[in-house]
A and B are shown apart, each in its own frame.
Chain A
């Protein structure tokens, strides 16, 4: 790019930053006024969980979280539609392999802990799902081409699990007269835990599958010698 133009863009971006800083400073100086925080904290005992962030995510703004799981699903569909995954990395050396043997089970265990602790302390489905996804990334870096994920059919089911369980519970609640995703009093905790468990698995599988970066290949591609001459040699790169 032209050097003068990039300088001009830099000056404009700096001016924008100064403007935003000024606005932000005067906003902080103002009286905060009526905030959603007081409402959210006041209704916390009814929400079924005692961690306010989880209450907002899974109860007050459950719609938002459901649609976000749909965004994850759509992103993975986009990645899969771009073609097959690249082959994985070389198998890890003994030191990395030994570390992976320890780190992956620990990551899964910590994911389960984070899922449970999300009810009353920082944690929850997103953190737990991110840990599961990280376990998949580590496995793929260590030479497991499928990032530890099951076959494609199973992956499809696990990936829709989050949005699926979420909307099924919402529809069942709507049919029984409570309204879409308005939990009946007393049942909220278990419904939230069920949704969060499904969401954790779905988020973990989706993130790991996104890291694989394409439609999953079969473990042993059935490459018959008769089919080889017709196949495009470029496709096997």
Chain B
């Protein structure tokens, strides 16, 4: 019971931390990481709830839910990252096509190398 409470309680703390970070931080990437941390907290609670006392096997239903949930969370994160990439690409494209050459150059320089530093063209 104490172990289950500590494990699930850690999950609740992760959930609250993720929720705070999701609401407070502006960049989309940080929001995405925060959402994943919230999800990890929910999985923690599920695993803790599956515990049915020492000596008895754990409840397989929450385990199965967590297993499917992890894969869904990974694929949703991948989709969100692809959307984020596309948004960043659009932003840098529109920044470069602005008439003021100085501003366009500066923002183009500041956005593009950050997005993929080790890719080759």
Contacts and interface: CB of A to CB of B under 8 A. Distances in A.
A117 B120 CA distance: 41
Given A130-B71, A206-B75, A78 B15 contact: no
B32 interface: no
Nearest to B92: A237
A20 B68 contact: no
A195 interface: no
Contact of B24 (A10, A20, A203): A10
A228 interface: no
A218 interface: no
- Interface core residue of B1, B52, B60 (most chain A CB under 10 Å): B60
Contact of B82 (A20, A79, A234): A79
A75 to B, nearest CB: 4
A40 B4 CA distance: 21
Interface in A150-183: none
Contact of A10 (B9, B20, B61): B20
A207 interface: yes
B112 to A, nearest CB: 8
A16 B65 CA distance: 24
A213 B119 contact: no
B95 to A, nearest CB: 12
Given A25-B5, A79-B82, A210 B75 contact: yes
Contacts of B70: 126
A65 B17 CA distance: 30
B2 to A, nearest CB: 9
Given A17-B15, A86-B119, A57 B71 contact: no
A6 to B, nearest CB: 4
Contacts, number: 140
B60 A20 contact: no
B78 A211 contact: yes
Interface residues of A, number: 56
Most interface-central of B50, B61, B65, B76 (chain A CB within 10 A): B61
Interface string B98-121: 000000000000000000101111
Given A37-B59, A64-B68, A126-B68, A20 B12 contact: yes
Contacts of B91: none
Contact of A56 (B57, B61, B76): B61
B81 interface: yes
A24 B6 CA distance: 10
A24 B75 contact: no
Contacts of B24: 1, 6, 9-10
Given A71-B72, A86-B119, A17 B13 contact: yes
A24 B5 contact: yes
Contacts of A55: 60
Given A72-B71, A75-B76, A37 B60 contact: yes
Interface stretch (A28-36, A101-109, A186-194, A219-227): A28-36
A24 B4 CA distance: 10
Contact of A9 (B20, B59, B74, B121): B20
Which 7 A/B pairs are nearest by Cβ-Cβ distance? A17-B16, A52-B60, A37-B59, A210-B78, A75-B75, A56-B64, A13-B20
Given A13-B17, A76-B75, A207-B74, 4 more contacts: A21-B9, A53-B67, A71-B72, A90-B120
